[in-house]
Amino acid sequence: MDQSNRYADLSLKEEDLIAGGQHLLVAYKLIPAPGYGFLEVAAHIAAESSTGTNVEVSTTDDFTRGVDAMVYDIDETAFGDHPVTGGGLMKVAYPVDLFDPNLLDGHFNVSHMWSLILGNNQGMGDHLGLRMLDFQVPKCMIEKFDGPSAGIADLWEVLGRPRENGGYIAGTIIKPKLGLRPEPFAKACYQFWLGGDFIKNDEPQANQPFCPMETVIPMVAETMDRVQQETGEAKLFSANATADFHAECKKRGDFILESFAKYGNEKHVAFLIDGFVTGPAGVTTARRAFPDTFLHFHRAGHGALTSYKSPMGMDPLCYMKLARLQGASGIHVGTMGYGKMEGHGNETVLAYMIERDSCMGHYFHQEWYGMKPTCPIISGGMNALRLPGFFENLGHSNLINTCGGGVFGHIDSPAAGATSLGQAYDCWNSGTDPIEYAKTHGEFARAFDSFPADAEKIYGADWREKVGSHK
């Protein structure tokens, strides 16, 4: 049934909808199935994600029609005819009244918002692809989402840095990500902390039988205290508190904080939550149970929704916005084409959108109205050689970087690998040519020897003659 007479109004102006402040706007890429018209399918999507279904129902009244989602703009050929990357553009205006405030405090919840704008409409049979590209949240809704509580400024303060523009936090993931028992794990932490700032559990590192949390976490807490005394430098640890039940998440969080508090280091802890697999409920549980602790949102699994290889799901930008709304202190933004993760250099907007108070997205300008920022975290195939180019592309270094293989694959030691990361930042920050910098900074120079394929790709086949580090 073609419902475009009810769920589409192409005379509506986007600027008027934004000025009115009573609609959440969403841009989608749509590939209709053969035999269906573009506007027909677009209207069906608006119906299914608001007040309608595939048929007229007798219970509809005038009030119901007043909260219909409306297609207000289409461009049927916006993306060409490729079966994955092709399709047309459609924009939908969702009345604010459609969204679900909490009984507890009147705040909006991301779970309900997500199910509405990217829920049942993903599985309909009259399209071959529906991908959410961008959305804009009005002020009246922004003010009623949790947003972040703690942030990177709190970590900079622990590290003894200014709360503004505190700079690069050099981090790692203990490798191998699985298979280490408590003693080797704590030893690996010690080795990295001799030269670096921040260690995170990887997404599956938690409470394996061969490395139980109740054994390894106290060891890591003791190791942090010891290395801080030896180096005179503060250190940070992001511990995995992920769970599928709120009571388990809180139990893990309490145990972690108690273990580090024994040494007065509870502020040196972040909680890693696998936010894709637990969903907004997992993130919000940690955000509300531990508001003073940095909430580290690991997006493991997100590619099932955000991969550019799929005509379905959502653009990574949408995922970033959802993470900030639900209160992530930091989230992995990928490597923007500089690491091993899918991505490209123009993904700088993923970082800008979560860290700035005002930012232009793919289709909408988003004002955050004072909501605290979410820190970009970069990881996935990064090392010291790749960092200067990444920083240059992004334009700043106010972020957390976690290199696993880039540290533990360093030819000399994890401590040297950690030091090489800090040197890579200093190289970029000082505006020095990396080849020239390497000649006087041994750990960075040895990163060339450690990752020769990257050295050749980034700095040329004659890097050995230029650096001389092999001699």
Q: What amino acid positions are annotated as catalytic residues?
A: 175, 298
Residue with tokens 């909490």: 102
Residue 14 CB contacts under 8 Å (≥ 6 apart), including other chains = 25, 72, 73, 91
Q: Is the peptide bond before 452 cis (omega within 30 degrees of 0)?
A: no
Which residues share a beta bridge with 239? 271
- Can you give the three-state secondary structure of 93-148, one letter per residue? EEEHHHCCECCCCCCECHHHHHHHHCCHHHHCCCEEEEEEEEEECCHHHHCCCCCC
Residue 468 CA to residue 439 CA, distance in Å, equals 7
Q: Which amino acid, 67? A: V
Residue 420 CA to residue 434 CA, distance in Å, equals 12
Query: Could you tell me the CA-to-CA distances from 130 to 8, 85, 123, 206, 290 in Å, in that order?
Result: 17, 11, 9, 35, 36
Residue 226 CA to residue 178 CA, distance in Å, equals 24
Residue 257 CA to residue 17 CA, distance in Å, equals 46
Q: Which amino acid, 470? A: H
Handedness of CA 423, 428, 432, 438 (dihedral sign): positive
Residue 113 CA to residue 125 CA, distance in Å, equals 22
Handedness of CA 192, 178, 350, 372 (dihedral sign): negative
Are 95 and 49 in contact by the 8 Å Cβ rule? The answer is: no
